[in-house]
Amino acid sequence: MISAGDFRKGITFEMDGEVYQIVDFQHVKPGKGAAFVRAKVKNVMTGTIKDMTFNPNDRFPKAHIETKEMQYLYNDGQLYYFMDNETYEQLPLERDQVEDAIKYIKENDIAIIKFYQGTPFQVEAPNFVELVVTHTEPGVKGDTATGATKPATLETGAVVNVPLFVNVGDVVKIDTRTGEYLSRK
C-alpha cells in the first residue's frame, strides 16, 4: 500500500479498478484547514490524464509494472511489431501505444515496453539516441546569434530544433525524454 502523502513522479497505483501513474504532484498545506495532495495522474491503460485531490492519509495498493526490453522489428502500416529477444515472440502494438517513442526508434533498435498484468500499455525509447539528419535548411553564413536554432527532420521522421551549424547527413544525439538536441558526432 502507498499513501497519497508518499506520491512521487512515476509511481503507479490502483484506484477504482484502474491503474494510474503520477505525472506531477504537489503537497499543499493551506493556512487554514488540513493539508492535501494535488496530483496529475495518467490512466496507464487509456492514456487519459486528470487532476485529482487526495487526503495525505488515503492509501492505495501499489500497481506492479513489469518492464521488458524488446527489439523493434517493423511497421506494417497499422501495427508496430516488437520481438522479445529471449523467447523470440513477436508483440504487435497499436499506434497509440507507441506514438511517443516511435519517432526516436529505428528498425532493430531496443525499446522498453511496460506491462500491467501481462498487457502492454507503454513503449519507451532509450533515454538517448543517435540519429541522422535527413532534412534541414542550410545555416546562413554570418548568422551566429547565440543559441539560434533551426528545425531538422531526423531519419525516423521526428523534427527537433538543432543549432545552425548542423547539416544534412550529420549524426545528432537526442534526449528522447525532452526531444532536445544534445550534440553532433
- The full DSSP string for 39-104 is EEEEETTT--EEEEEE-TT-EEPBP-EEEEEEEEEEE-SS-EEEEETTT--EEEE-HHHHTTTGGG
Domain span(s) for CATH 2.40.50.140 in the chain: 65-124, 128-184
Collapsing DSSP to helix, strand or coil, 130 comes out as strand
Distance CA 169, CA 135 (A): 8
Q: Per-residue pLDDT for 143 more than 70?
A: no
Distance CA 33, CA 174 (A): 46
Amino acid, res. 61: P
Q: What is the share, in percent, of the chain residues with pLDDT greater than 70?
A: 96
Q: What CATH fold (topology level) applies to the domain 2-60?
A: SH3 type barrels. (2.30.30)
Specify whether the CB–CB gap between 114 and 93 falls below 8 A.
no
Tens-place pLDDT, residues 152-165: 999 988 999 998 88
Q: Which three cell numbers stand for residue 156?
A: 525516423
What global pTM score does this model have?
Answer: 0.74
Q: Which three cell numbers stand for residue 45?
A: 491503460
Specify whether the CB–CB gap between 14 and 5 falls below 8 A.
no
Distance CA 141, CA 13 (A): 54
Domain span(s) for CATH 2.30.30.30 in the chain: 2-60
Superfamily of domain 128-184, CATH level 4:
Nucleic acid-binding proteins (2.40.50.140)
Tens-place pLDDT, residues 90-134: 999 988 888 888 899 999 999 999 888 888 888 889 999 999 999
Q: What CATH fold (topology level) applies to the domain 65-124?
A: OB fold (Dihydrolipoamide Acetyltransferase, E2P) (2.40.50)
